[in-house]
């Protein structure tokens, strides 16, 4: 009896570090979640781990380059890729993709490089020089994996990439796992007498926390029975703490730093706010949707706008400004109070279906197989 033995595809996923933000989390979930019977998974980690670094299953082969910065990882990357000879290399972030594509002449012939695009390039690459450089680099890529159709269109329009080379794979979200932690956390909530608003993100300018604090000052003027918690750490902490003091928000805003188990904080929240100036498809927003929260966001990317437009329980600001953000935050808080009085259940957010972990990982597997040249 002849049985067809499927070839395991050797792939190399790459992250700057373990732990940290959503982009790293997505790549780790893909590494741990794709079928080990179909893929031999290698994960390159460029620098030292950050808080929250996860444990990976034994079938994921982790290669630590121990470089101080991404740009200093070039010799180690060339040796690694030359040694393991993966069919496909998937750098997980833009600056890492740029380095790998620049090194392409030094890599084994036949190595396919398929960057994961983790942001909206039209917003991130603001100068003509940056766009020309990335456009030139993208011509050397064998494709790109984007989180949404809108991001794929953006790459094609602004970097001149061919649409046929763009793959779309959603961020895998552990919907059931998040809900289990959230339901347990809701047995006890701090500030039970207030509407609790949560924001999760790095304390960096692009995440818009400064804009959120300005908006929050307006929200508090209209309704003092609210509490804002910001989970995350970053270079802007001192400036944001000073801003909180200047706006007189110490009593209603908590900057709690990095937290390992964000789902517990989602369980204590009523509203999630994403105040970013620009985004790709933020993982924290998707996890908040899994928790059934009311969602408030800026129009930080076309993908986010398309996902949430006309969805119950989601409010999109008319523009990226503190005034517009304050308007939708106030509307969401008011609606949450009305629903609490009516003892309404959490929001369902049906748009999450393609992001559920099993479905998203199958989409990733399909993209990786296509990247190797396999048609199915």
> How does pLDDT run across 142-158, given as a tens digit for each residue?
999 999 999 999 999 98
Same domain, 209 and 168: no
Measured on CA atoms in the order 250, 256, 326, 191, is the torsion positive or negative?
negative
Kindly state the percentage of the chain with pLDDT values over 90: 65
Same domain, 161 and 257: no
Same domain, 120 and 185: no
4 within domain boundaries? no
Residue 1 has pLDDT above 60, yes or no: no
Task: Give me the domain span that covers residue 334.
Answer: 175-353
296 within domain boundaries? yes
2 within domain boundaries? no
Same domain, 236 and 161: no
59 within domain boundaries? yes
- The whole-number average pLDDT for the span 335-352 is 85
pLDDT of residue 49: 78
Range among 45-49, 113-117, 327-331 rated most confident: 327-331
Same domain, 111 and 211: no
- The whole-number average pLDDT for the span 108-120 is 91
- The whole-number average pLDDT for the span 202-220 is 96
- Looking at the structure of the chain, the number of domains it has is 2
Q: Strand runs (DSSP E) across the chain, as ranges?
A: 9-15, 39-45, 61-64, 88-91, 112-113, 116-117, 144-146, 166-168, 195-200, 226-231, 253-257, 271-274, 294-297, 314-316
334 within domain boundaries? yes
1 within domain boundaries? no
Same domain, 112 and 191: no
- The whole-number average pLDDT for the span 103-130 is 89
Same domain, 328 and 302: yes
339 within domain boundaries? yes
3 within domain boundaries? no
Same domain, 220 and 343: yes
Same domain, 112 and 192: no
Which tens digits make up the pLDDT trace of 182-192? 988 876 666 67
CATH of the domain at 183: 3.40.50.2000
């Amino acid at each position: 009896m002849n049985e067809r033995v499927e070839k395991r595809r050797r792939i190399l996923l790459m992250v700057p570090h373990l732990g940290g933000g959503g982009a790293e989390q997505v790549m780790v979930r893909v590494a741990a979640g794709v079928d080990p019977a179909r893929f031999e998974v290698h994960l390159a980690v460029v620098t030292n781990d950050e808080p929250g670094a996860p444990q990976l299953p034994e079938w994921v082969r982790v290669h630590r380059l121990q470089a101080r910065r991404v740009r200093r990882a070039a010799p180690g990357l060339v040796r690694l890729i030359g040694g393991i000879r993966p069919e496909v290399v998937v750098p997980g972030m833009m600056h890492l993709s740029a380095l790998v594509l620049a090194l392409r002449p030094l890599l084994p012939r036949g190595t396919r490089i398929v960057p994961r695009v983790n942001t909206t390039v039209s917003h991130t690459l603001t100068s003509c020089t940056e766009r020309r450089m990335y456009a030139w680099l993208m011509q050397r890529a064998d494709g790109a994996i984007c989180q949404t159709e809108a991001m794929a269109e953006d790459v094609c329009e602004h970097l001149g990439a061919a649409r046929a080379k763009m793959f779309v794979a959603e961020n895998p979200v552990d919907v059931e796992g998040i809900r289990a932690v959230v339901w347990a956390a809701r047995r006890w909530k701090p500030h039970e007498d207030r509407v609790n608003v949560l924001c999760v993100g790095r304390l960096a300018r692009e995440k818009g926390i400064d804009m959120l604090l300005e908006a929050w000052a307006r929200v508090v003027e209209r309704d003092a029975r609210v509490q804002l918690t910001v989970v995350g750490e970053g270079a802007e902490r001192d400036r944001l703490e000073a801003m909180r003091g200047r706006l007189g928000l110490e009593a209603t805003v908590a900057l709690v730093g990095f937290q390992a188990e964000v789902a517990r904080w989602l369980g204590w929240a009523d509203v999630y706010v994403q105040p970013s100036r620009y985004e790709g498809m933020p993982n924290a927003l998707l996890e908040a949707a899994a928790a059934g929260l009311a969602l408030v966001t800026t129009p930080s990317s076309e993908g986010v706008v398309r996902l949430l437009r006309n969805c119950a329980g989601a409010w999109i600001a008319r523009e990226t400004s503190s005034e517009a953000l304050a308007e939708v935050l106030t509307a969401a808080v008011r609606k949450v109070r009305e629903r609490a009085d009516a003892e309404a259940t959490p929001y369902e957010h049906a748009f999450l279906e393609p992001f559920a972990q099993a479905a998203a990982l199958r989409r990733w597997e399909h993209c990786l197989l296509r990247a190797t040249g396999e048609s199915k």
